[in-house]
Chains A and B, each alone.
Chain A
Amino acid sequence: MKKILLQGNIALCEGAIAAGCDAYFGYPITPQNEVSTHMSRRMPELKRVFLQAESELAAINMVLGVSATGKRAMTSSSSPGISLKQEGISYLAGCELPCVIANVTRGGPGLGNISGSQADYFQSTKGGGHGDYRLIVLAPSSPQEMYDFAYKAFALAEKYRNPVLILSDGYVGQMMEPIKISNFKSQISNIKKDWILDGCAGREPRKIRSLLMADGELEAHNWKLNKKYETIKKNEVKYETYNVEKADTVIVAFGISSRVCTTVLQLAKKDKKKIGMFRPITLWPFPEKELSAISKKVKRMVVVEMNLGQMVEDVRLAANGRIPVDFIGRPGGAIFTAEEIYEFIKKRI
């Protein structure tokens, strides 16, 4: 198959376009400005909607409007901008409106810096906005996956009527690699949408809302959401493993950290050390059963994250005290060398 050289942020756009994204709304913020720049050209070419919003609040609510009509919408931003979108994300989740949100993360807290970072894991997987809800969270580690996951995100969003978050980072967003473009036409099957607002011709009027004031109504709605989340947990967990079968130490890393750790695996192979790697692709639903099973077979896990220890909490829950779960992290947009990770692991085995 033909390969083309694309930057991660542009690959994200093209994946969304391939999925039939009808409208994109964004607000400038580094390191994801290539997304709105590219979309401002490509979307009008395709007679689709591009609009630079006046704020992140407006952008996510424009997405809400498009989604309410059953059309496909995407917004993207970077960490501080994603914080601003959380109000809208909570409403989208409560109203069960599908959409795709991409976070090309940067260092935090506050304005932080513009390097890639993995410090938004908690925000992405544990809520972010108010209320009991979940997002499906996909963590790409390459421009190829930016393309593939953007495409996949729309399918998942519509299948479950739920917002999907692509948790990327400034490194993956800015990186250029050859990628395979499967097909620029939408292959997503058109699911029948009996909930959309498209005018009440020939049917009863519909309403989209998250305000449920009647006695017991909101609790029932939350249980219904929970049932959906349980189905997602059952069906949609995605991960990759490298040499886990023969390993006595398993690295757990997602996104850009997992790319660095592939070099660690090569260093370990040279030294005949039995190190493997587990890469969660869906951060929610988290591959807890799979990690739990691995924790029964290996001696140690080492979680590698570009933050001060966020996913490590989920890995420790999965391991449930059976084996030591070590952590090595670099916060503030710093990135590891493979050597420093390898030295850290060697000291512990």
Chain B
Amino acid sequence: MNSLKNGFKYSRPESLKPSRHLYCAGCGHGIIHRLIAEVIDEFGVREKTIGIAPVGCAVFAYDYFNFDVTEAPHGRPPAVATGIKRVSPDKIVFTYQGDGDLAAIGTGEIIHAANRGENITVIFVNNANYGMTGGQMAPTTIIGQKTLTTPNGRNPHNEGYPIKVCELLSVLSGTKYLARTAVNKPAHVTQAKAAIRKAFQNQIENKGFSLVEILSMCPVDWQMTPHDACNWVENVLMKEFPLGVVKDIS
């Protein structure tokens, strides 16, 4: 263990640019970016990594990550990743997608990339709403959750039920590793990093499709303080989306 006494310095990973994040106070994206950057540094693959940014709050991911990043149309990162990885199998390719991107408009792309067993890593940030557009209902919005477009709370008779992506993908033979984590408290951040590490390691070892779902805070659109948002993840969101490794046959 490093400690301050031994001269430990908490420094910026090389895979993160020294740019200022534009994320809201208390948002989980900054933590998740850092975890990915740390893992890429630890594997020493920064110079052969190609990231795919989504449409959503992380649309500017290329301004924060210090490696090659491309944009993709909303929901299409798994198809873009497929194209990149198929012609560049030596590169480390990952998508960074929100719940609207991956579980609504991009449902087709994620299911088929997973089913083909594409040797890619998917980082799926679930904050139960569309953050960038102001907090509309997402496919992962929980029953009763008030959003911009469910002013009386999500009603399953009208809007259906929250989609459990890891469980949904777990029945596909092409998926090798599916885990749900969170970044609302330090213990969970540590677990999230271990899962991200595993998901990249699988790709490096050519084991196939890995996805890490990360429950994340969106205090501004949830209309909570950052502290309350962390507690809401713990006490409410995690009841609907239990943490853990959903599938590991890697």
Name A residues whose Cβ lies closer than 8 Å to a Cβ of B. Answer: 22-23, 25, 49, 51, 53-55, 57-59, 61-69, 71, 73, 87-88, 91, 95, 197-202, 205-211
Contacts and interface: CB of A to CB of B under 8 A. Distances in A.
Residue from A51, A61, A65, A66 with most neighbouring chain B CB atoms (10 Å)? A65
A57 B109 contact: yes
Contact of B87 (A54, A59, A66, A207): A66
B59 A211 contact: yes
Interface stretch (B77-85, B177-185, B241-249): B77-85
Contacts of A209: 53, 62, 70-71
A207 B86 contact: no
Interface size class of B (residues with CB under 8 A): 35 or more
Interface stretch (B42-50, B137-145, B152-160, B192-200): B42-50
Interface string B28-49: 0000000000000000001111
A211 B81 CA distance: 19
A61 B84 contact: no
Contact of B69 (A25, A65, A95, A205): A205
B112 interface: yes
Contacts, number: 136
Contacts of A68: 50, 70, 80, 83-84
A57 B76 contact: yes
12 contacts: A22-B87, A25-B83, A57-B76, A64-B76, A64-B83, A88-B73, A91-B72, A198-B68, A199-B68, A205-B68, A208-B70, A208-B71
A198 B88 contact: yes
Interface of B: 17, 46-50, 52-53, 59-60, 62-63, 65-73, 76, 79-88, 91, 108-109, 111-112
A66 B84 CA distance: 5
B42 to A, nearest CB: 17
Given A49-B87, A57-B108, A91 B47 contact: no
Listed residue (B46, B65, B81, B84) with the most chain A CB atoms within 10 angstroms of its CB:
B84
A23 B83 contact: yes
Nearest to A50: B86
A55 B78 CA distance: 13
A23 B87 contact: yes
A65 B80 contact: yes
B71 A69 contact: no
Contacts of B69: 197, 205, 207-208
Contacts of A64: 70, 72-73, 76, 79-80, 83
Given A69-B84, A71-B87, A205-B68, A61 B109 contact: yes
Contact of B83 (A63, A201, A206): A63
A51 B48 contact: no
Contacts of A25: 83
Contact of B70 (A51, A87, A197, A202): A197
B45 to A, nearest CB: 9
A49 B86 contact: yes
A200 B67 contact: yes
A88 B109 CA distance: 13
A61 B60 CA distance: 19
B84 A58 contact: no
Contacts of A22: 87
A197 B68 contact: yes
A62 B66 CA distance: 24
Contacts of B84: 65-66, 68-69, 197
Contacts of A49: 86-87
A152 B17 CA distance: 40
B114 to A, nearest CB: 11
B79 A62 contact: yes
Nearest to B52: A65
